[in-house]
Structure 1
Amino acid sequence: MASKKTAASKPLLIPKAASLHIGLNAVSPAAYGGWSGPLAACEFDAQDMAAIAKAQGIAKPAVLLTQKATRAAVLAQMRAAAKSLKAGDFFLLSYSGHGGQVADSNGDEPDKKDETWCLFDGQLIDDELYFELSRFAAGVRILVLSDSCHSGSVTRAFPPPPPPPDQRPKLMPEEVANRVYREHQAFYDKLQDDVMKAAARAASAAPVDPDAALALVGAAAQASKLVGRFRPAVLLISGCQDNQTSMDGPHNGAFTGQLLKVWNNGTFSGNYSAFHARIRAGLPPSQSPNLFVLGPAAAFLAQKPFTV
């Protein structure tokens, strides 16, 4: 008589993990109206986050530094991870560099501006980031750590205060942002239009739950409006609120430096909510990191940070 298979006989599924760490100490002047955006610590930030990934069992974290951190390279790495990871797997994405803005040409932003990550040869618009995250499979856990300005959510209510003496904000100046958009308007408008069309097709297959949508605010609401219901569980911890600036430093950005201090080589034992609270408590009132979630992330939020 054939023996029955029991739950205990099923093979143990070990989650897979991938990570991508982006750090830019400069951008190409050709893509930014002559501005090179010099910073000091962003490459260190990316390398330190990759070291955490390795310590957590991610064998080959991808690291893209300055000239290697192009739009094509970042999107290729994200799409490769989305293709390979399944339910229960883990993706860690960290960015350290300037935040920027372009005019919102598709009408999805209440402040008429789309926030961006300033990659070496052009900006990655927040619409693109949300759409790429939405392409991950249901049940994938995604942690995004963004050490940049304009990273809190989506609405910048009023200008940030002046930076402390001898510190450099991770913020593309407004006059530079306006110049870059003027010189490359067709490119950035087409990006927004293409993402909106692709997101509309995806959202029609997975429309957002109206009741769930009412509970979302800020960037979470804007992202869900763009792409519909998020299948993966996404946590984003960012360097500052919208009316603040994330500060650079000699060895780490202020946000990343405090994150490393709280993590303390893995001795931190709380969950993501406690992790965010401890990081925020260690920074000055002028820089208050933000946390928001997308998708079914309650169980993910309760885990110890960086758990594969």
Structure 2
Amino acid sequence: MPRGLSMHIGINEIDETKYGTKGELKNPENDAQTMEGLAKAGNFTPIATLLTKDATSDRVAAGLREAASQLSAGDILLLTYAGHGAQVPDKNGDEPDRCDETWVLYDRQFIDDELHALFATFAEGVRILMLSDSCHSGSVARDISFSLSSPELERTFDTNEPDQVRARVRVLPQDAQFRNYQREQETYDEIQHSLPPLDQQDVKADVLLISGCQDNQTSSDGVGPNGLFTETLLKTWKNGAFEGSYSTLHRRVTEAMPFYQTPNLFQSGRSTKEFLGQSPFSI
């Protein structure tokens, strides 16, 4: 019988000594704990739930290595992230926009090259379902040209949804990204130089990402207990009463979201139609 493991990351604030800001958010820890509950209800075994100060680069990497050591063909990992998204300059030439996308962990940014290198340690035939409720996360992510404060975007909120306008968005401000990269440039550059470019990484697992927004959008931190994407996904899931596939779930969530935040569905690794067509959160 296939085995299911889960790992959940939720970061309400980051290390001010490393980033120059606490980057405070309201709901990521709630998102992680809620998704842990969903995983347990579906008979997944949580191997780590990393909240704020515990969500360090070493612990995230260790959790993924532990999952890779335990899972074999046919098994599944549910990986969820809630927090800021950001970018660092691309140093190994694998990004068309010359920027590598990151998760903003408590101690430092976790570069997409690192994430995919860890995915490459999973056995062939393992399924990895990743939910990323973070800004610019369409493919975790390619472009961060929009922010909620941009005049063009503010005009589109002209607005019958004032609460959503006031909600924080999950993107590390550009000035904080710049300061953090200046302070930690040697670390970030060495990470990229030490890893193969994305197009040379042989990921044999079947990776399916459902993200909170498109690459050029921001994800709202929400006005309730969860981020807007996580809240909408949970309402659509209806405690397991939802019927359909991952592609259907993505479509229904997208239909329920406001026009300015469109969840993305993205496959990588050994992409299969079978995984896409399975009942969501099933082992």
TM-score (norm 1): 0.84
Q: Does 1:276 align with 2:276?
A: no
| Greater C-alpha radius of gyration | 1
**1:68-83 → structure 2 map (5 Å cutoff):** 68-83=54-69
Partner Cα separation in structure 2 for residue 174 and residue 158 of structure 1 = 10
Aligned residues: 267
Question: 1:61/1:54 Cα in 2 relative to 1: closer, same or farther (>3 Å)?
Answer: farther
* Cα-to-partner distance string for 1:73-129 (whole Å, 9 max, x where unaligned): 000000010111000001000000000111111111111111100111111001111
Secondary structure of the structure 2 residue equivalent to 1:146: strand
Cα deviation, residue 61, structure 1: 4.5
* Cα-to-partner distance string for 1:235-255 (whole Å, 9 max, x where unaligned): 001111111100102410011
Q: Does 1:236 align with 2:209?
A: yes
Q: Tell me, yes or no, if the aligned pair for 1:53 and 1:61 is still in contact at 8 Å.
A: no
Secondary structure of the structure 2 residue equivalent to 1:235: strand
Q: Tell me, yes or no, if the aligned pair for 1:106 and 1:192 is still in contact at 8 Å.
A: yes
Q: Does 1:30 align with 2:17?
A: yes
Cα deviation, residue 150, structure 1: 2.1
Q: Tell me, yes or no, if the aligned pair for 2:103 and 2:111 is still in contact at 8 Å.
A: yes
Q: Partner of 2:181 in structure 1?
A: 181
Q: Tell me, yes or no, if the aligned pair for 1:235 and 1:297 is still in contact at 8 Å.
A: no
Q: What residue ranges of structure 1 are gaps of 5+ in the alignment? A: 1-13, 200-222
Q: Partner of 2:78 in structure 1?
A: 92
Partner Cα separation in structure 1 for residue 94 and residue 106 of structure 2 = 25
Q: Does 1:135 align with 2:110?
A: no
Q: Partner of 2:238 in structure 1?
A: 264
1:115 to 80, 98, 101: 101
Q: Tell me, yes or no, if the aligned pair for 2:7 and 2:46 is still in contact at 8 Å.
A: no
One-letter amino acid of the structure 1 residue matched with residue 279 of structure 2:
K
Partner Cα separation in structure 2 for residue 45 and residue 61 of structure 1 = 16
Cα deviation, residue 179, structure 1: 1.0
User: CA RMSD, aligned part only?
Assistant: 1.4
Partner Cα separation in structure 2 for residue 141 and residue 68 of structure 1 = 26
Identity of aligned residues (%): 47
One-letter amino acid of the structure 1 residue matched with residue 7 of structure 2:
L
Partner Cα separation in structure 2 for residue 60 and residue 158 of structure 1 = 35
Secondary structure of the structure 2 residue equivalent to 1:101: strand
Q: Tell me, yes or no, if the aligned pair for 2:83 and 2:104 is still in contact at 8 Å.
A: yes
Cα deviation, residue 161, structure 1: 4.7
Partner Cα separation in structure 1 for residue 221 and residue 131 of structure 2 = 15
Cα deviation, residue 232, structure 1: 1.0
TM-score (norm 2): 0.91
Partner Cα separation in structure 2 for residue 264 and residue 126 of structure 1 = 32
Q: Tell me, yes or no, if the aligned pair for 1:21 and 1:95 is still in contact at 8 Å.
A: yes
Secondary structure of the structure 1 residue equivalent to 2:193: helix
Partner Cα separation in structure 1 for residue 104 and residue 121 of structure 2 = 22
Q: Partner of 1:285 in structure 2?
A: 259
Q: Partner of 2:165 in structure 1?
A: 165
